[in-house]
Amino acid sequence: MAPIRVLVVEDSVTQRRQLVTLIQKAPDMEVIGQARNGMEAIELVEKLRPDVISMDIRMPHLGGLEATREIMREFPTPIVIVSHASSDADMAMAAMQAGALAAIEKPPASTDPHYARRCEELVSTLRLMARVRVIRHWNNHSRPLPKTGPLLATSQPLLAPVPEIVVIGASAGGPGALAAVLGKLPADFALPVLIVQHLTAEFMPGLAEWLNRAGPLPVRLAVGGELPLPGQVLLAPGGAHLRLSIEGRVVLDSIRGSYRHQPAVDALFKSTADCYGSRAIGIVLTGMGDDGAAGLRLMRDAGARTIAQNEETCVVFGMPAAAIERGAAEFVLPLEKIGSAIRALCSRGERKTDGSDSAAR
């Protein structure tokens, strides 16, 4: 099998050398090019057509955010943002909104006790993202409108209880999708919202701050033992599963268990099905893999309302596709309609529904 071809974009000579050496050690990878700034990166992407890009954020002449926008518009390529979470989180989130698939902290010095683990995380992320077939990202003025297909026929009971909580799962492409959904919810939204986003723990505080500014609802990291409140958005902090106890309180579980991810969307969805039953809304957004599909199926079986993002608006149609294949999604919606669908479902409690009813109408 041909090795994964990596382009490294980093302005620091020392850090660029460190990244190149690290990647070259992986038996299934090769560095085919090095760029010192975004302008060089764009030229090399056009010339070399790498399988994946390791992209710094702060660089002279043209930074990683602007380079990501240009690459995703002209030469769609899997991009992993490799930067410092403490100072670059805002731009990293914006780059992911522009089409980058993941963000990960730069490896520390070799003397750091976590050096080996962090290096392996970086290489594994590049390896995984290289497999993703990315789509072209247009600017707001020229992006084609996605096709909107019919919703799946619902098998919900004739009388649907009023929802009391919204739970959302997302992975690659998630930050931008979450901003789009939360931005459509009003400031007086009456339900708590709990979110699991696959992202390294170092970037989770930055994601919370970024989403907090992206919409009218307050967003912060969840705290173990707290009771989710109406109009409040809680994010799994990273490194622990976010669950709900039978009393409805937040549980942060540091034991990974059999889940591929930590936090896992399935862990949140399963606990929501156990705690809230039919009085919940579950949503699977863009992401790689199948996390959330089994949990969303449990929620739907319990009578909850369930939504999956449609293929045309996903950065990666992995998690929603898996949920749809399992029959877990009652509705399949384009991203721009999911926020309004949540509002509609919240206002339709105890109303009769049938297969022709559209939550986003």
Catalytic residues: 171, 198, 291
Let me know if 159 is exposed, middle or buried by CB neighbors in 10 A (0-12, 13-18, 19+). Answer: exposed
- Cα–Cα dist 293/289, whole Å: 9
Q: How many CA atoms lie within 13 A of 344 on its CB side?
A: 15
- Cα–Cα dist 210/66, whole Å: 18
In eight-state DSSP terms, residue 46 is: H
Question: How many CB atoms lie under 10 A from the CB of residue 21?
Answer: 10
- Cα–Cα dist 134/150, whole Å: 24
> What residues does 331 pair with on adjacent strands?
307
Taking CB atoms within 8 Å and a gap of at least 24, the contacts of 324-327 are 324/152, 325/293, 326/293, 326/294, 326/296, 326/297, 327/297, 327/300
Residue 164: both structure tokens together: 């009391």
Backbone angles phi, psi at 22, to 5 degrees: -60, -50
**Collapsed DSSP state (helix, strand, coil) of residue 234:** strand
Q: Single out the residue of 5, 169, 206 nearest to residue 94, CA to CA.
A: 206
Identify whether the C-beta of residue 345 lies closer than 8 Å to the C-beta of residue 305: yes
Q: Single out the residue of 63, 128, 118 nearest to residue 90, CA to CA.
A: 63
Identify whether the C-beta of residue 96 lies closer than 8 Å to the C-beta of residue 287: no
Residue 38: both structure tokens together: 């975004």
